[in-house]
Structure 1
Amino acid sequence: MTPQVEPVIIVGGGQSGLAAARAALAAGLRPVVLHAGNLPVGSWPDYYDSLTLFSPTRFSAMPGMAFDGDPDHYPHRDEVVTYLHRYAGALDAEIRTGVRVAEVQARSGDGYLVRTDADDQIAAAGIIAASGSFGNPYLPELPGRSDFTGDVAHVANYRRPDPYAGQRVIVVGAGNSAVQVAYELAAHARVTLATREPVRFLPQRVGGRDLHHWLRITGADRLPRRILTRLVQHAAVLDTGVYHQAITSGQLARREMFSAFTPDGVIWGDGTTEHVDTVIFATGYRPDLGYLEPLGALAHGTPRQVGGLSTTHRRLAYLGLEFQRSFASNTLRGVGRDAAHVVRAIAGQLAGTHKRPRSAHTPPAAPSGTGATTR
């Protein structure tokens, strides 16, 4: 029996998937959102307990719904979960939770066939891959890691400092998450922040206003990718002054990255060894798109795309990639613009009025570890 063909399947029910659903409805399409979790709120419930947005509520809303509360308040993780749940409930879209996509295949004739972990099959004319990257944390390979008898974790698995009380802990990374978690842990454990370069800081407030105010009025929030790729190496930790003071005062120790593991610790760059209980890597994430491998749409796990539009397949698009089209691409405040862009393209392709973008070199996605662009 031939399955009913849905116009657009959106894989992922977080901020990117919900923004895509709203844009699809506005374009007259009937989207179906497939989300692996129990609630359509993305990976937010799984972030560490103390996580707070870097942008105040006035700059944290998605299209069509304001973020409640004081415009200058910096929302907590759980407030974002509540907001996204409310956002999903206000959409007149079919959202199927508890549905994990196993693979997407090209359908005979035209379009796609989506197969779930439950072995259900759904035909679709178009696909928007909005599954983000939280499910694919990046852990670098270092000599001796397999022999290390302590604990090795990614910051994706970190929740709160209590389990590390009294331990010797190294946090690896120079981005927002690394600095925040190391600072929090330092009150409970003996912590060193290990980085390859000195940590760069960016003031959270400039001239009495939040940095995002200046990003918006200067247009920096929408700088195109070709400029952003030159600037990303200068990414910095957003700071009110607390983190910089902690490092300069010695409250939070910082050392050059260690060169290797030993069975019970690490070897520092000067050749000295030290016992370590736990190493937490805050080294970012890679796009979680393994379900597209059967299509041949990826290059070493990285989508072949320009501005979120596939260069290999018609009516295949991506959302939530870091620096996809601008600095704000995979943030609450910026994903709506990208969603409108890719949905317009898919709608045009369905109507036969929009061509797939020409292939272009898409540089491998750098691990998203700054944190500033993910919130």
Structure 2
Amino acid sequence: MEHADLIVIGAGQSGLATAALAPPHGFARILVLESAEEPGGAWPRYYDSLTLFSPARYSCLPGMRFPGDPDRYPRRDEVVDYLRAYARRLPASIRTSTSVASVTRQDEVWRVRSGDGREFTAAAVVAATGDFGSPFLPKTPGRAEFGGRVLHAADYRSPHVFAGQRVVVVGGGNSAIQIAAELGPVADTTLATRRPVGWTPQRPLGRDLHWWLKHTQLDTAPIRRLLAKVPVSVIDDGNYRAALDRHGVDRRDMFSRFTADGVLWADGTEEPVDTVVHATGYRPAFGYLTGSGALDDAGAPVHRGGLSTTAKGLGFVGMEFQRSFSSKTLRGVGRDAAWLLRRLSAARR
């Protein structure tokens, strides 16, 4: 059994930021457990062309700038390289290929058991696995009888395998728009949403949206509940919207059900479809905390700002709207991690 002052579960952006900021808060021995073979979280598994909607200057973790032009919008592989370089600088021991099976509290100590039976203990634990490991597929009637292919954006990589197909992309967020825009040139593509797509200018009045969020403090904690209720809107400089129009990608109201060979649209029209890609988000995935008292009946963390209110010495980083509009982003996880570590440190005294 190995002991640490702090165990961080997950070596994605949230876990890495937490490990980087932990030493000044009195956590000398830091252990990061990551199920994948390398640090980077879910980033290496995203689709090939993924491009951030935040510029590099607003896409970095504490203590390390994103290399290159700070005003460019980095792509997936750049983010992966950045996170792996960041991990190499950390004052922490990172154990890759180490999935966590259970986390329980016993005798004022957290006991973490890995999938292969190893055990670790610590006074404090931060769950930083986020929700990207748990893709959400809505329960649409008829899916079991559909003879085509149904996949989530988590399993989408590039448009080439869909060439010549009839494809429906479900969702109205940034990922859905990016995927539909790149499918348009090679496949007959439709975007299916429950409401019209909302568009937010990427550079209002010549400044990137994230500059405005920072300098107006619109993404700070006091208004996070308000922001959480704002309808999904796509951040775009005009290129994606133009690409949809240029390649004939239309939007339709969400289909009501699958059929054996396609979908039944809301207006009653049946249409053959080859593939349906769901860009429908993710759900919390904290199964390893089952039985710890830290989750509610639906499996969601019981917390305030990321600090567990039911389990001493436990916290979370990287959840959507955890403390602010940017909590789930590269820019926001460091701020949330610092806030949480201060409270976990104070609880040890």
Report the TM-score range of the alignment, normalised by the length of the smaller protein: over 0.9
Partner of 2:347: 349
SS at structure 2 position matched to 1:53 = coil
SS at structure 1 position matched to 2:177 = helix
The offset of 1:173, in angstroms, is 0.3
Partner of 1:131: 129
1:140 pairs with one of 138, 141, 149? 138
Partner of 1:81: 80
1:123-272 equivalences under 5 Å are: 123-224=121-222, 225-231=224-230, 234-247=231-244, 251-272=248-269
Question: 1:247–1:254: 8 Å Cα contact kept in structure 2?
Answer: no
The offset of 1:249, in angstroms, is 6.5
Give me the whole-angstrom Cα distance separating, in 1, the residues matched to 2:267 and 2:91.
60
2:277 pairs with one of 275, 280, 299? 280
Give the AA of the match of 2:235: L
Partner of 1:56: 55
Give the AA of the match of 2:283: R
Q: 1:171 to 1:251 in 2, by over 3 A?
A: same
Question: 2:181–2:244: 8 Å Cα contact kept in structure 1?
Answer: no
Give the AA of the match of 2:285: D
Q: Deviations over 1:118-173 (max 9, x none)?
A: 01111221110000111100001011111111101000000000110011100000
Give me the whole-angstrom Cα distance separating, in 2, the residues matched to 1:275 and 1:137.
25
Give me the whole-angstrom Cα distance separating, in 1, the residues matched to 2:45 and 2:58.
23
Q: 1:66 to 1:113 in 2, by over 3 A?
A: same
Give me the whole-angstrom Cα distance separating, in 2, the residues matched to 1:104 and 1:21.
18
The offset of 1:67, in angstroms, is 0.9
Question: What is the TM-score of this pair, normalised by structure 2?
Answer: 0.96
1:295 pairs with one of 272, 292, 314? 292
Q: Share of identical aligned residues, percent?
A: 53
The offset of 1:235, in angstroms, is 2.6
Question: 1:52–1:77: 8 Å Cα contact kept in structure 2?
Answer: yes
SS at structure 2 position matched to 1:163 = helix
Give me the whole-angstrom Cα distance separating, in 2, the residues matched to 1:25 and 1:159.
38
SS at structure 1 position matched to 2:111 = strand
Partner of 1:334: 332
Give me the whole-angstrom Cα distance separating, in 2, the residues matched to 1:286 and 1:187.
31
The offset of 1:91, in angstroms, is 1.0
Partner of 1:318: 316
Question: 1:179–1:243: 8 Å Cα contact kept in structure 2?
Answer: yes
Give the AA of the match of 2:295: L
Give the AA of the match of 1:90: R
Give me the whole-angstrom Cα distance separating, in 2, the residues matched to 1:230 and 1:267.
30
Give the AA of the match of 2:252: R
Give me the whole-angstrom Cα distance separating, in 2, the residues matched to 1:94 and 1:20.
13
Partner of 2:93: 94
Give me the whole-angstrom Cα distance separating, in 2, the residues matched to 1:197 and 1:285.
19
Give me the whole-angstrom Cα distance separating, in 1, the residues matched to 2:91 and 2:173.
38
SS at structure 2 position matched to 1:220 = coil
Question: 2:146–2:260: 8 Å Cα contact kept in structure 1?
Answer: yes
Query: Is there any run of 5+ residues in structure 2 with no aligned partner, and where?
Result: none
Question: 2:184–2:247: 8 Å Cα contact kept in structure 1?
Answer: no
Q: Deviations over 1:56-84 (max 9, x none)?
A: 11111111011111111111111111111
The offset of 1:226, in angstroms, is 2.7
Give the AA of the match of 2:238: G
Give me the whole-angstrom Cα distance separating, in 1, the residues matched to 2:97 and 2:274.
36
Give me the whole-angstrom Cα distance separating, in 1, the residues matched to 2:128 and 2:147.
37
The offset of 1:26, in angstroms, is 2.1
Partner of 1:366: none
Question: 1:170–1:280: 8 Å Cα contact kept in structure 2?
Answer: yes
Of residues 122-131 and 238-247 in structure 1, the stretch that sits farther from structure 2 once superposed is: 238-247
Question: What is the TM-score of this pair, normalised by structure 1?
Answer: 0.90
Question: 1:25–1:93: 8 Å Cα contact kept in structure 2?
Answer: no
Give the AA of the match of 1:265: G
